[in-house]
Structure 1
């Protein structure tokens, strides 16, 4: 089982952005500055507005529209790396409840979130994932990443330390 989990990847541990932001900083640390992205934004100003690809789940399961929607999905994955999924059948109430519970998790005191901190060399847990070098530019954000299925890949120390509603 452990060898399967190791295929997910590994990550170097880095400080929590939420904790860095609480410190009196005179400037954002260099590791989080992304001047190449700022130039891209400046170059795009006044140009066409880019829209996140939208994939319709109902069209993916319909014989009439499946092929064209699969083409859109293929493009979104290859060119954008993400997309918005609509008509998926998940109730708005459930989505709002999960969103609130995730916000509540990130608002927990540091000591509580640290119970879900990443283990060295793993990507799952609270922190930042897929950090592969000390020189790597980082996002100014913390994440919580966890595999839930298959059950044999689930990390009990993470799942058991989540607040009950989110668990």
Structure 2
């Protein structure tokens, strides 16, 4: 049974909660209002369930069916990995902020991994770590990136403005 086949009863108080990610533009505006694009801002958006749920759902849309595990790196990787794991239905592992060591979960050589970084510039270290541990990177994406970042949900410019990225 998959999550889409589970129906909530109309008497369930959680039935009124939004189920989808909503628009990426609206989410970008919410993130900007939180000042979420900075390096030290993970706690501002990861601690808000409505924001975290929407980001996890958007990231899960990008995880290919071939992936057998999600590997996440960056500040708050354990929180982001939890949300993404629930949304994608895959196990996850979290790496330290600098993508050099495993902080949560496990990996196994030969797994097909979807790589997710909080900030785009962490992807190179994440890929290198996965290569060194025998994982095959089948996809990569990030929550935030610069204007030249491909696969970033959101682009943060030099002034801190946040807009939709190119996933």
Superposition TM-score tier, normalisation by shorter sequence: under 0.3
Q: TM-score, normalised by structure 2?
A: 0.27
Q: Which has the higher contact order (CA 8 A, sep 6+)?
A: 1
Larger Rg: 1
The structure where strand makes up a greater share of residues is 2
The structure where helix makes up a greater share of residues is 1
